[in-house]
Structure 1
Amino acid sequence: MPRPFPMIVLAAISLFLAACGPIQTATPIDEAPLAGARIGGPFELTGEDGKTYRWSDFDGEYRIVYFGYTYCPDVCPTDMQRTMAGLKKFAKAQPQLAEKIQPIFITVDPERDTPTVLTEFTDAFHPRLLGLTGPPEKIEEVAKKFAVAYSKGEEQPGGGYLMNHQSFVYLFGPKGEPIATLPADQGADAVAAELTRWVR
């Protein structure tokens, strides 16, 4: 008559393995907050250097994308300063990974933001920050693809005007996929931490 002990042991092992199954798969891989979002897409704009740039030109690179304008009195320069300072902190810790990141500034005020004006603005924050502009209708089309709303404000005394716009700092992956928004409002350290989390 066979002894029951081996069956008991096998049953116990089976239960143990079944119990361990969920534990082995319970460590989730971080899912990007913007994974699957319909943000971004093909475009063709003019760079601050006068060259034509397409979204596909940045394939293989991570992309930091921000929509703003150079005449912005506070929000845009503050966001750019914090975001680019965060990129510099990340580059100091991870220089090779930082080389995979292309920061991009797309104007929502193409009437005033000529390539020359964009160059002066972007150079103040990071040597690799690329300013892009184009005809108003193209800027409007691109902004819609990136889920950024903007509008021209009332004229100020002297003929100037402000632009109302959403100030998202997007991070996209090497295939152009949206990953996350960078927390520029929390400062350079928070931006660097978020880059560390997602850039591989």
Structure 2
Amino acid sequence: MSKLIRLAFISFICTLLLACSKPAFQGTDISQSQIGGGFSLIDHHGQLKTLADYQGKVVVLFFGYTSCPDVCPTTMAELRNTMSELGEAAKDVQVLFISVDPERDTTQLLSQYVPAFHPSFIGLTGNKSQIDAATKNYRAIYQKQGQGNNYLVDHTAGSYLIDRKGNTRVLVNYGAGAATFTHDIQLLLAD
């Protein structure tokens, strides 16, 4: 009987060790999904960028637009707070804001809007087919609502966390807060 108890104890310890070794994200773990992939867009400095350019960093990818009245500035402010909470580790994180409003969001406008939240944040844009390719890879949506210059753009409000190897790992829902971003980014940085 003692042999059986020892085996049960060893099995229990192994189970605990395995459970502890897996990250417990606060956002939705999408590691096993087919969400994510490359893109080819222009950054707010006018340079062509791909996801591969950020390999080695944890990437936070967010689709939005500069005229967004609520979701985008809220998320960008949460990400700014996250960078402060990360301290020195923030140098290993890259926030990418992909505009879904290429009609209005020029590189010049993105260069003013995006770094206003944090100097390391990068705004990306492109033509409609480039943006469509990026949104398709991330299963994100966007749709123009209204006419004239004051239209709105409905868009996916979640943020994607991509590990240092370029694998999409976590979806952080809108409004989750800086603490959720910080927690999950720290897990990816330690991975």
Same fold (TM > 0.5):
yes
Paired letter, 1:79: T
Moved over 4 A (4+): none
Match of 1:190 in 2: 180
Q: Deviations over 1:87-127 (max 9, x none)?
A: 22122xxx1x3221111000000111111100111111111
1:50 counterpart residue number? 46
The alpha-carbon deviation at position 15 of structure 1 amounts to 2.1
| Distance across 2 between alignment mates of 1:180 and 1:51 | 27
User: How many equivalent pairs are there?
Assistant: 183
Where does the alignment leave 5 or more consecutive residues of structure 1 unmatched? 1-10
Q: What runs of 5+ residues in structure 2 fail to find an aligned partner? A: none
Seen in structure 2, the aligned counterparts of structure 1 residues 53 and 83 have a Cα distance that, compared at 3 Å, is same
Residue matched to 1:76:
72
Question: What do the CA deviations read for 1:113-165 (whole angstroms, capped 9, x no partner)?
Answer: 11110011111111110110011111011101011111111125xx3211010
Given candidates 167, 170, 174, the residue that maps to 1:180 is: 170
Is the counterpart of residue 24 in structure 1 residue 20 in structure 2?
Answer: no
TM-score, normalization: structure 2? 0.88
Structure of higher CA gyration radius: 1
Pick closer, same or farther for the CA change 1:55–1:80 going to 2, 3 Å.
same
State the match for 1:7 in structure 2: none
Give the superposed CA RMSD: 1.7
1:26 is paired with a residue whose SS is helix
- Assess if the C-alpha contact under 8 Å between 1:83 and 1:184 holds in 2: no
The answer to whether the 8 Å contact 1:107/1:113 transfers is yes
- Mapping of residues 103-142 of structure 1, within 5 Å: 103-142=95-134
* Alignment CA distance shift 1:147-1:119 (3 Å): same
Aligned residue in 2 for 1:3 = none
- Matched with 1:90 is 86
Deviation digits for residues 60-85 of structure 1, max 9, x if unmatched?
A: 11100000000111111111111221
TM-score, normalized by length of structure 1? 0.84
Structure 1: distance between partners of 2:38 and 2:170: 19
